[in-house]
Copies of this chain bind each other. A is one copy, B any other.
Amino acid sequence: MHSRPRPVAVAGAFDDLRRDTMATMSHYSRVQELAFWQGALGQELPGIYSAEYHGAFLRGTGLMLLMQRLESGAPRVHLDIHTDDLDAEVARLERLGAERVQKVQSWWVMRDPVGLLFCVLPMSPGSLNEENAQRWE
């Protein structure tokens, strides 16, 4: 048995392509981007997990919006899928047509059939249940 919930995180990148050459501008861009989305949502997005992330559960939903500092690449949005059995869930998604791209720390980056990247993240045992997750046998 393993369970896999609806996606519970939406990760919004908040760096830009100028980071490598204009660190000050990039820092400014990140601060500006965070301020924008906090204002747009009417909600604080405090630091979470590490210096790389800011985020919070969107009020009244089981979904979290995370802003992630990127090291490279254009600003982008991706979906996260949470699971309490990483190997089983990654294998299930492979059978559906996704490919493994890279293991990063504890999670897998995967690519869907048309090339969209998404992440599959392991959750602590007990954090997923019948209320917030889909059970796969």
- Residue pair B77, A33 in contact (C-beta under 8 Å): no
Contacts of A33 in B (CB 8 A): 112-114
- Distance from A12 Cβ to chain B, minimum over Cβ atoms (Å): 7
Contact digits for A34-52, partner B, Cβ 8 Å, 1 yes 0 no: 0111011111000000000
- Distance from A135 Cβ to chain B, minimum over Cβ atoms (Å): 9
Where the two chains meet, the residues of A that have a C-beta atom closer than 8 Å to any C-beta of B are 4, 6-7, 10, 12-16, 29, 32-33, 35-37, 39-43, 58-63, 65, 74-79, 81, 93, 96-98, 112-116, 131-132, 134, 136
Contacts of A4 in B (CB 8 A): 42
Max count, chain B CB within 10 A of own CB: residue among A37, A62, A79: A37
Max count, chain B CB within 10 A of own CB: residue among A6, A13, A93, A131: A6
Max count, chain B CB within 10 A of own CB: residue among A37, A61, A113, A136: A113
Minimum CB distance partner of A111 in chain B: B75
Max count, chain B CB within 10 A of own CB: residue among A35, A58, A93: A58
Bound-state CA distance A40–B43 (Å) is 29
Minimum CB distance partner of A132 in chain B: B60
Contacts of A131 in B (CB 8 A): 60
